Amino acid sequence: MEAWLKALEGANKTMMVADGRKKMHATFPDGREMVEEYDARTDDLLVRKWKKSSALGKEGAWEFEVGEAPRRPAAGDLMMETSSTPLFMRQDTKNQFQWRVRNLPYPLETYSLSVESESNTAVLRTSNKKYFKKFKVSDLDRYGLPVEQGGFSMAHANNTLIISYSKPKAVLAMEATMRTQRAKTKTTKEGDVECNPS
């Protein structure tokens, strides 16, 4: 846990408020970039995305850890996935890590969730073999904490499966520390421009 906090403290960070969101951009010494967006009023995490350069220095694409990536075809592509394809995304609350899988019409009894402890990975399956997904709880990996089977719960409504994992006390304490750190970071508002008179 301390290693992640030190890495975040060592990163070059900028913060701005725009469109009702607090946006933090961090660049780490190894070249990775992270963008987090928080609701300006509630301080809930809305988006966390990462980008790293390839071994040859080519700029990589943004990978969304929390929040929904924009759904649009890549430049030059004429085809796009159908809107009824299951969509897996993470959307956290204050006390839980939460994943939503849209476009899954099956009843709750169809789904089973297990944990592969050697890889610290959760596995979601359906008994009708229509959906399978392995996913990690990235925050627990960063903090070196194990994923525990008993921490998960599931609910289903409106063709959406909601998977929740209660945040351990250590994670809640770390998030409080990071909130304090964000409050100390100099924030600019949309439209503020640094101007040096000549």
Distances (CA, A) of 191 to 35, 38, 162: 19, 19, 38
| Residue 144 clears pLDDT 60, i.e. is over it | yes
- Average pLDDT score over residue span 53-64: 77
Strands 45-51 and 63-66, by their bridges, are: antiparallel
pTM, to two decimals: 0.81
Query: What's CA 115's distance to the chain center, in Å?
Result: 19
pLDDT in the model for residue 12: 86
Q: Which of these ranges, 18-22, 34-38, 59-63, 143-147, has the smallest mean pLDDT?
A: 59-63
| Residue 73 clears pLDDT 70, i.e. is over it | no
Q: Mean of the per-residue pLDDT values for the chain?
A: 85
Instruction: Name the pLDDT band for 198 (thresholds 50, 70, 90).
Output: very low
pLDDT in the model for residue 80: 65
pLDDT tens for residues 180-192? 877 777 777 765 5
pLDDT tens for residues 115-135? 998 999 999 999 999 999 999
Please name the helix (run of DSSP H) or strand (run of DSSP E) that holds residue 46, with its range, or none: strand 45-51
Angle at 182 between CA 28 and CA 54, to 5 degrees: 20
pLDDT in the model for residue 83: 73
pLDDT in the model for residue 195: 46
| Residue 143 clears pLDDT 60, i.e. is over it | yes
pLDDT in the model for residue 75: 59
Using the structure block, give the residue that is written with the tokens 């304490």.
173
